[in-house]
A and B are shown apart, each in its own frame.
Chain A
Amino acid sequence: QVQLQESGPGLVKPSETLSLTCTVSGGFISSFYWNWIRQPPGKALEWIGFISYSGSTNYNPSLKSRVTISVDTSKNQFSLKLSSVTAADTAVYFCARGTPTTMITDYWGQGTLVTVSS
């Protein structure tokens, strides 16, 4: 059974960079797409972007200038960096596996709350 687990600081100061890592277990990171999705408190889901096992990326244009997603296949991990954060970036951040071509996100991490505050 594939499992995903997010990790990283739960509190980030305004203007700093949010950094999260997702560790994939129960399967290899190859042959799939790896997504970051977030959900502000009480609000709907927002897709941030994905990276393929080969390293190609696709970001939401609304966040593209601030987002970097990378993959470390040797550790079965992928990571998110979001720069210049503000309070509007406070959210639960989920990592999720996406199937090639159809982009169905079938396995999700439990999510981690990141609060942006001084």
Chain B
Amino acid sequence: DIQMTQSPSSLSASVGDRVTITCRASQSISRYLNWYQQKPGKAPKLLIYAASSSQSGVPSRFSGSGSGTDFTLTISSLQPEDFATYYCQESYSTPLTFGPGTKVDIK
């Protein structure tokens, strides 16, 4: 199975800050990497797929990059509605695996 790690596990930031979350796969997954945002009591929402493609309707402040084993999700200017937990997920092979999550809260 492919193992996914994320860093940091949590961060505190202010509105307007630039935020970067990293995700690492235990082996190369090409660009089969997706990012999700989850708010308390809600289902995950797809933000970025195939490492850098934005899902329809996702604000342009969210961007993704990377390939192989190392990936990043960047929020260019954090907004109040962005405080949430972010998960990466590989879709290179089954079992599909998620990272442990990064919680972004208010500083």
Check B98 against A106 for contact (C-beta < 8 Å): no
Check A104 against B34 for contact (C-beta < 8 Å): yes
Check B42 against A110 for contact (C-beta < 8 Å): yes
| B50: chain A residues within 8 A (beta carbon) | 102, 104
Kindly identify, within residues 88 to 107 of chain B, every residue whose CB is under 8 Å from any CB belonging to chain A.
89, 91, 94-101
Contact of B71 with A by CB under 8 A: no
Check A110 against B43 for contact (C-beta < 8 Å): yes
| A108: chain B residues within 8 A (beta carbon) | 43-45
- Main SS class of interface, B: loop
- Please give the residue numbers on chain B whose beta carbons come within 8 Å of chain A beta carbons, in ascending order: 1, 32, 34, 42-46, 49-50, 55, 87, 89, 91, 94-101
Interface CB pairs A-B, < 8 A, 27: A44-B87, A44-B99, A44-B101, A45-B44, A45-B98, A47-B95, A47-B96, A47-B98, A58-B94, A61-B1, A94-B43, A94-B44, A102-B49, A102-B91, A103-B91, A103-B96, A104-B34, A104-B91, A105-B46, A106-B46, A106-B49, A108-B43, A108-B44, A108-B45, A109-B43, A111-B42, A111-B43
- Please give the residue numbers on chain A whose beta carbons come within 8 Å of chain B beta carbons, in ascending order: 35, 44-47, 58, 60-62, 94, 96, 102-106, 108-111
